[in-house]
Amino acid sequence: MSDLNSAMTERYHNSFLKEVEANVEEGEWVKMCMQCGVCAGSCPLGNAWEHTPQKLFMMIRAGKREAVLSSDAMWMCTSCYNCIARCPRGLPITHIMHGLAHYAKRLGLVPKNQPTAQFSQIFWDNLMKKGRVNELKLGLAIYFKDGFGQGIKNALANKQLGQNMMKAKRMNAMEFFGGHSIKDTGGLQKMIKKAQEIEDAKIQGNS
Amino acid sequence: MSDEKKFAGYICTGCGIGERLDSSQLEMIATREGKMQSCKQHEMLCSSEGVQMIRDDISSEGASHIMIAACSRRAKVEAFNFPEVAMTRANLREGVIWVRPDAPEHQETTQEMADDYIRMACAELRSLKLPHASGEQSLNKTILVVGGGITGMTAALESAAAGYPVHIVEKQGALGGQAAGYAKAIPTRSPYKEPRDTGVAEMIAAIEASGLITVHLNSTVAKTAGAPGRFNVDIATESGAVSNETFGAIIQATGFKLYDPSNLQQYGYSSSPDIVTNAELEKLVKAAAGGPVKRPSDGKEVKAVAFVQNVGQSSSEEGQLSYHSGIGDLIAIKQAMYFKDQNSDCDTTILFNNLRTPGAAGEDFYRAGQEKMITFSKAQVSEVVPGDSLEVKFQDLILDEETSMQADLVVLDVGMMPNSGPDPYAVPIVIDEKAEAASETPRAPTVTVDSILNLDYRQGTDLPHLKNGFTDSHFICFPYETRRTGIYAAGPLRRPMDMRQAQDDAAGAAMKAIQAAENAGKGMAAHPRAGDLSFPSFRMDGCTQCKRCTVECPFGAINEDEKGYPLFNESRCRRCGTCMGACPVRVISFENYSVESVNQQIKNVEVPEEFDEKPRILVLACENDAYPALDQAGMNGVEINPWARVIPVRCLGSVSLSWITDSLNSGYDGIVLMGCAKGDDYQCHFVRGSAMAHERMDKVGDTLSSLNLEPERVVVYEVAITDIERAPKLINDMAETVEKIGLSPFKF
Amino acid sequence: MAKKEVSYYPGCSSQTGASSSNMMRATQTMCDELDIQLNEIPDWNCCGASIGYGGGGELPRLTLSARNIALSEQHNPGQEIVATCAACWLSTREAKERLHEDANMFRDANTALNEINLKLNNQTPVRHMVEVLVEDIGFEAIKAKVKKPLQGLKIASYVGCQTNRPFGIAEESFENPVYLDHLIESVGADSIPTYEKKVQCCGGALAFSEPEKSQEMIHGIIEAAYDHGADLIATPCPLCQANVEIYQDQINARFGSKFNMPVVYYSQLMSVAFGRNSKDSALDGQIIRAKSLEEIAGK
């Protein structure tokens, strides 16, 4: 158990809902769910979720901390925003899902090898390097996320796709060497570091 | 004005009547056949000029009976308002030209329809008298309010505010009723976020300060005799003293009691003092006086409370309520707020299955509860286990798992049951044995109750019930109207409701009571024929003491004297004529509506000979719903068969069987009767009239078979005012039936 | 028509050699024809898209977009920010709105921006190119520009998710937005009003991490277009375009289908209809060639 996780467990032992309110993006909305289930019925990957948003909200209210934070569910969000558009109570469900996912990651509770969790981190790291996403490296990083051998296999399986993209000039092998970048990468990194510090301090302060 | 009758006819040729119909022929029929001493045409009779023409005839020519052939009797009522004369209206517009196609091949039958309506109107007119008030009542402005809770106090204050003296009779030793025991009430004003003060103390103070309100505490109503305008009431106090007062009208506001959950073992209500009903919690909160709520068993501060919703309600099980009170979830939210507002860390959980927070205010209050971190769990509670800490076992219906929670106090949401008196019709008037045997529905818990009003009426001591013991108050169309004229039911006696609704209800009932007292003083009818001066008279020398009128009157207006003759109470009467329809010897009639006045219309329709192949269909349409529906059909251009002749009746209950037999005997080919919906969800404006008519018409089959006529020739329908397409279709269907089975053999 | 100048935010995938570089090209052509001048936000950065949340918390992600808005306010003052990528538009507009509503977050974002001497005023509207077309230019003006109507082409309008939700185009319904159908009709083609997958999710970023689940949805999107007899699918969103176009081989292998459905941008339709050639209309950027459009462009 990470230190932050133990600290949070200790502090909010009585109310996971309060922990979510204080630490999860848009978490203060969770209590306003009226359990109608429209989100569950509107989610394009609803059938792939272990727990629908409706259930996650109920679990939060029932204090099922471990089950929620180690759930695979919120990582199934495709960010289609259908739940937000339809929620009769106006809950920003997509953002709460992102927030829960991020909080679980922060506490080190994400299930091992959760592909979207991995991709999400790879994406973030990729964009932080140059300030812009390098699609080639992003793709390769995903193929090779489970080691070199698996990477070659993945790459071969998608060989045709890559060739098609290059032919259409929508992928460039040269991107592997440097590639697109903003001018002020240092500044951007400094700025984001500051933002992270502010956010970390807030959450540490809550622990 | 002399007593001599003078008959004057008027034919309007406006709105296309003149173009579609031969008005000189109509005029000729009115004078020759209809015996109108004069008949005038006008191109727009409802214009001020047309109306003035009639007015002049009344004042200078002495016209005492006028026949207006123009639009429907429901149109232009302000223009054609001549209260000083008897009047009939022939419906040439909605009833003829608007329901018939404007084409040469239809001209003949359309004109025949109009001719008949003129004949009918003239014939009816000759059998009418101008109604006069009997003078039986005088104005008594004092209102009796039975029950001194929120509803009763509001009714009293509202009546007093309108200048009417009030007496409140309250059984308990203080005013306030159930609400006096509440800590706070559900909010009634935006933003609907916080419980509000009940307002009971202010209301009591206002009543004490009012010079118009007399309060009888520890008192009950020992006897109620008389009628609106002259109710004679004995008020008995606990000590045995009886005082007598007279009232113009009565409001019953006897409220509700709560369902007793003792027999529902799973909730453990009897096994722990820490399992309480919602009303008992109010007392605990009141006792805490703003401090933390202490639980009854050991006085420990409550730090976790569970609200179990919908206890013994909306259930199909024996001994439970089949309905839901509707406000229990709002009460639970309010009560959970008691705990949250005192200690935001108090664990408050509302275990609901279907959360009902009606209205915009309810939704806002629900959200406010969520904002205060009240936990709402969709759950089915299976058991409450008593102990130092109570265990509430439930199935979580969202997470689909059996689970439980611990609580210091458990609050049961039990439903409201009306404080009605005994139902005078607990044993149905007309026993339908088949229906009785078929009904094996579980019986709701019944409590033997004492009479509340002790009415000295032929038909029982109290207001009739509708469903589940709630007092019948025509909740669909005419709230507060009961079947006892001048006695209005208000508050949770009528249906479950919250304080705000009860207050609105009380204000409405107060207005109705005032109206009833005022109308009674003028000898006028109450709703729905408000203002009608006619009342039934009984030709006693012909009466056979059969008691049908006293039994069948939906309003208990007719008592019996010691010999069994009807003893009529004019101001209890709603003028529906159900007694007239009931009387087998036809001794009951109104000055402006009688067996004869309708019979004359039936007889004066020209029934063509058989080889003319022009059938005649008699339509007796209730003036409250069916007749307006037919008018609407006319406005919408829906066609009605040209063989139909429509006669409006006050209520289907007023239909005399003699009209049916006489019209069959005189060669009508089919008869269509149209009344309002009957049964539990009745829309009959006179409650039982339509039902009585249906029952009576069951027997018409014998008449038909004795005449050797097909049973399909007489049909009875329930028609709503919205049946704009259906009502004409029912008539047209009869035309098809006649075509199929052939014309009546009784034509001459 | 006076030239309209906007502060343009093209986004990562629109860059040369990136997956929607073709959209960028067609957008430029379309804007030339409509007299819209695209002034790129200097040194713009990635918006974090809808998948950055794993690594980036709320404030870092909002700060990314805050930097772009601040740069736009500094270098393209008085100009509305206009994006062509659904995710770029969504992230930027979301950041603008949340920083507007949450004073603490606004303060914190500016603290971070202060590290690079930028300041966010947050007074700049953030719009989608489609809003510019529908609200500022108008369908009638677009019709008037058409030189080669796309007559006889039946086109399924695939709006997708993020151009439509949660903000969407004003006065459009979330369940059945019709502006893309109107655009299709404005350029002389036939729309398919009953195309039921119009706002179906393609899986978005999860096309990478959950390919099986995503391709099942994409399969449905293409199948419905075939069922309605569509010649093409048109979309406003770069990720929708890529997901629906480039995996058709894999989907055919997985589902035994024989899809070969071209998927193009509205800007490509307009460029062709405005009389521009295949190259200007970026038809060479198709993996599945849109031959019917190429024919019209070549006439």
CA-nearest of C295, C181, C170 to C233 is C181
Residue B710, domain member (yes or no): yes
- C55 in A contact zone (CB under 8 Å): yes
Q: Which of C79, C102, C129 is the last residue of a domain?
A: C129
C147 and C292 together in one domain = yes
* Nearest chain C residue (CA) to A24: C58
User: What is the pLDDT confidence band of residue B406, given thresholds at 50, 70 and 90?
Assistant: very high
A69 and A89 together in one domain = yes
Residue C135, domain member (yes or no): no
A103 and A170 together in one domain = no
Q: Do chains B and A touch (3 or more CB pairs under 8 A)?
A: yes
A107 and A126 together in one domain = no
Mean residue pLDDT across chain B:
93
State the pLDDT at residue C1: 52
C159 and C263 together in one domain = yes
- Is residue C177 reached through a cis peptide bond, with omega within 30 degrees of 0 on the bond before it? no
Residue A185, domain member (yes or no): yes
Residue C272, domain member (yes or no): yes
- C56 in A contact zone (CB under 8 Å): yes
Is the predicted pLDDT of residue B439 greater than 70, yes or no? no
Residue C257, domain member (yes or no): yes
The alpha carbon of residue A58 is apart from the nearest alpha carbon of chain B, in Å, by: 7
Q: Which of B440-444, C57-61, C133-137 has the lowest mean pLDDT?
A: B440-444
Q: How many other C-beta atoms lie within 10 A of the C-beta of residue B508?
A: 16
More confident residue, B479 or B514: B514
Q: Which domain holds residue C82?
A: 4-129
CB pair distance less than 8 Å for B398 and A32? no
State the pLDDT at residue B132: 85
B484 and B384 together in one domain = no
CB pair distance less than 8 Å for C19 and A170? yes
The alpha carbon of residue C12 is apart from the nearest alpha carbon of chain A, in Å, by: 6
DSSP per-residue string spanning B37-56: SEEEEETTTTSHHHHHHHHH
Q: Which two tokens stand for residue B449?
A: 């109750």
Judging contacts by C-beta atoms under 8 Å, the chain A residues touching residue C250 are: 161
B617 and B718 together in one domain = yes
Average pLDDT, integer, range C274-299: 96
User: What is the pLDDT confidence band of residue B435, given thresholds at 50, 70 and 90?
Assistant: very low
User: What is the pLDDT confidence band of residue B431, given thresholds at 50, 70 and 90?
Assistant: very low
DSSP per-residue string spanning C25-41: HHHHHHHHHHTEEEEEP
Is the predicted pLDDT of residue B432 greater than 80, yes or no? no
User: What is the pLDDT confidence band of residue C2, given thresholds at 50, 70 and 90?
Assistant: low
Q: Which two tokens stand for residue A89?
A: 């109570």
Q: Residue B375 is nearest to which of A14, A32, A61, comparing CB atoms? A: A61
B430 and B333 together in one domain = no
Cα distance between the two ends of chain B: 43
Residue A76, domain member (yes or no): yes
The alpha carbon of residue B375 is apart from the nearest alpha carbon of chain A, in Å, by: 7
Average pLDDT, integer, range B517-524: 93
- A58 in B contact zone (CB under 8 Å): yes
Q: At what angle do helices C211-227 and C238-246 cross, to 10 degrees?
A: 90
- A62 in B contact zone (CB under 8 Å): yes
CA-nearest of B170, B154, B206 to B505 is B154
CB pair distance less than 8 Å for A124 and C115? no
Four-residue CA torsion sign, C209, C210, C212, C216: negative
Q: At what angle do helices B328-342 and B359-371 cross, to 10 degrees?
A: 30
Residue B534, domain member (yes or no): no
Q: How many other C-beta atoms lie within 10 A of the C-beta of residue B684?
A: 28
Average pLDDT, integer, range A92-100: 97
Burial of B482 by CB count in 10 Å (0-12 exposed, 13-18 middle, 19+ buried)? buried
Q: How far is CA B556 from CA B524, B548, B549, B567, B688, in A?
A: 17, 12, 9, 11, 11
Q: Is B210 left (phi over 0), alpha (psi -120 to 50) or beta?
A: beta
B408 and B267 together in one domain = yes
B291 and B395 together in one domain = yes
The alpha carbon of residue B741 is apart from the nearest alpha carbon of chain A, in Å, by: 58
Q: Residue A131 is nearest to which of C45, C63, C201, comparing CB atoms? A: C45
Q: What is the CATH number of the domain that holds C201?
A: 3.40.50.11810
A54 and A131 together in one domain = no
Residue B297, domain member (yes or no): yes
What is the distance between the alpha carbons of residues B544 and B713, in angstroms, rounded to a whole number?
A: 31
A94 and A11 together in one domain = yes
C92 and C157 together in one domain = no
Backbone angles phi, psi at B717, to 5 degrees: -125, 155
C285 and C256 together in one domain = yes
C53 and C160 together in one domain = no
Q: Residue C285 is nearest to which of A45, A161, A170, comparing CB atoms? A: A170
Q: Which of A121-130, A138-147, B12-21, C135-144 has the lowest mean pLDDT?
A: A138-147
More confident residue, A131 or B611: A131
pLDDT digits (tens, 9 = 90+) for A145-194: 888 888 888 888 888 988 999 899 998 888 888 888 999 999 999 999 99
Q: How many other C-beta atoms lie within 10 A of the C-beta of residue A16?
A: 23
Q: What percent of chain B has pLDDT over 70?
A: 96
- C68 in A contact zone (CB under 8 Å): no
DSSP per-residue string spanning B445-471: P------SS-B--TT-SSPPB-STTPB
Number of domains forming the structure of chain B: 4
Residue B364, domain member (yes or no): yes
Q: Which of B83, B108, B130 is the last residue of a domain?
A: B130
Q: Do chains A and C touch (3 or more CB pairs under 8 A)?
A: yes
Which distant-in-sequence residues (6+ apart) come within 8 Å of B274 by Cβ? B295, B296, B297, B386, B390, B408, B409, B410
C114 and C175 together in one domain = no
CA-nearest of B392, B397, B348 to B373 is B348
The alpha carbon of residue A114 is apart from the nearest alpha carbon of chain C, in Å, by: 9
What is the distance between the alpha carbons of residues C56 and C58, in angstroms, rounded to a whole number?
A: 7
State the pLDDT at residue B440: 47
Judging contacts by C-beta atoms under 8 Å, the chain B residues touching residue A17 are: 373, 375
Burial of B733 by CB count in 10 Å (0-12 exposed, 13-18 middle, 19+ buried)? middle
Q: Which residue has the tokens 């009931």?
A: B582
**H helix runs in B254-327, sequence order:** 278-288
What is the distance between the alpha carbons of residues A187 and A189, in angstroms, rounded to a whole number?
A: 5
DSSP per-residue string spanning B398-414: TTTEEEEEEESEEEEEE
CB pair distance less than 8 Å for C213 and A48? yes
Beta strands in B336-420 (DSSP E): 347-352, 375-385, 390-396, 401-407, 409-414, 416-418
Is the predicted pLDDT of residue B434 greater than 70, yes or no? no
Is there a contact between B80 and B93 (Cβ–Cβ < 8 Å)? Answer: no
B190 and B300 together in one domain = no
CB pair distance less than 8 Å for A34 and B376? yes
Judging contacts by C-beta atoms under 8 Å, the chain B residues touching residue A61 are: 375-377
Q: Which residue has the tokens 């139909």?
A: B644
The alpha carbon of residue C157 is apart from the nearest alpha carbon of chain A, in Å, by: 17
CB pair distance less than 8 Å for B367 and A32? yes
CB pair distance less than 8 Å for B399 and A58? yes
Judging contacts by C-beta atoms under 8 Å, the chain B residues touching residue A31 are: 370-371, 373
Number of domains forming the structure of chain A: 2
- C13 in A contact zone (CB under 8 Å): yes
B15 and B48 together in one domain = yes
CA-nearest of B85, B33, B30, B75 to B54 is B85
- A48 in B contact zone (CB under 8 Å): no
Is the predicted pLDDT of residue B79 greater than 80, yes or no? yes
Average pLDDT, integer, range B430-440: 44
A60 and A97 together in one domain = yes
Q: Which of B130-134, B240-244, B245-249, B264-268 has the lowest mean pLDDT?
A: B130-134
Q: What is the CATH number of the domain that holds A63?
A: 1.10.1060
pLDDT digits (tens, 9 = 90+) for A80-91: 999 999 999 999
Q: What is the CATH number of the domain that holds B514?
A: 3.50.50.60
Q: Do chains C and B touch (3 or more CB pairs under 8 A)?
A: no
Q: Angle at Cα C217 formed by Cα C211 and Cα C220, nearest 5°?
A: 135
Q: What is the CATH number of the domain that holds C33?
A: 1.20.1050.140
Judging contacts by C-beta atoms under 8 Å, the chain C residues touching residue A174 are: 17
Average pLDDT, integer, range B582-607: 95
Q: Which domain holds residue A87?
A: 3-111
Q: Which helix (H) or strand (E) holds B658?
A: helix B657-665
B650 and B745 together in one domain = yes
The alpha carbon of residue C61 is apart from the nearest alpha carbon of chain A, in Å, by: 8
- C44 in A contact zone (CB under 8 Å): yes
C68 and C122 together in one domain = yes
Q: How far is CA B602 from CA B174, B428, B664, B714, B730, in A?
A: 61, 34, 10, 15, 20
Q: Which domain holds residue B160?
A: 143-257+419-521
Is the predicted pLDDT of residue B2 greater than 60, yes or no? no
Is there a contact between B91 and B117 (Cβ–Cβ < 8 Å)? Answer: yes
CB pair distance less than 8 Å for A55 and B355? no
Is the predicted pLDDT of residue B595 greater than 70, yes or no? yes
Average pLDDT, integer, range B12-26: 96
State the pLDDT at residue A1: 60
Residue C136, domain member (yes or no): no
Average pLDDT, integer, range B706-718: 93
State the pLDDT at residue B516: 95
What is the number of CB-based contacts under 8 A between chain A and chain B?
34
State the pLDDT at residue B443: 47
CA-nearest of B158, B116, B156, B105 to B30 is B116
Judging contacts by C-beta atoms under 8 Å, the chain A residues touching residue B373 are: 17-18, 31
Is the predicted pLDDT of residue B3 greater than 70, yes or no? no
pLDDT digits (tens, 9 = 90+) for B109-158: 999 999 999 999 999 999 999 988 877 778 999 999 999 999 999 999 99
Q: What is the CATH number of the domain that holds B681?
A: 3.40.50
Number of domains forming the structure of chain C: 2
Residue B591, domain member (yes or no): no
B614 and B712 together in one domain = yes
Q: How far is CA B658 from CA A147, A161, A180, B123, B430, in A?
A: 101, 93, 101, 18, 21
pLDDT digits (tens, 9 = 90+) for B441-485: 444 444 457 899 999 999 999 999 988 999 998 766 788 899 999
Q: Residue C205 is nearest to which of A102, A119, A127, comparing CB atoms? A: A119
Residue A206, domain member (yes or no): no
The alpha carbon of residue A189 is apart from the nearest alpha carbon of chain C, in Å, by: 10
Judging contacts by C-beta atoms under 8 Å, the chain C residues touching residue A99 are: 53, 58
Is the predicted pLDDT of residue B438 greater than 70, yes or no? no
pLDDT digits (tens, 9 = 90+) for C22-44: 999 999 999 999 999 999 999 99
Q: What is the ipTM of this complex?
A: 0.95
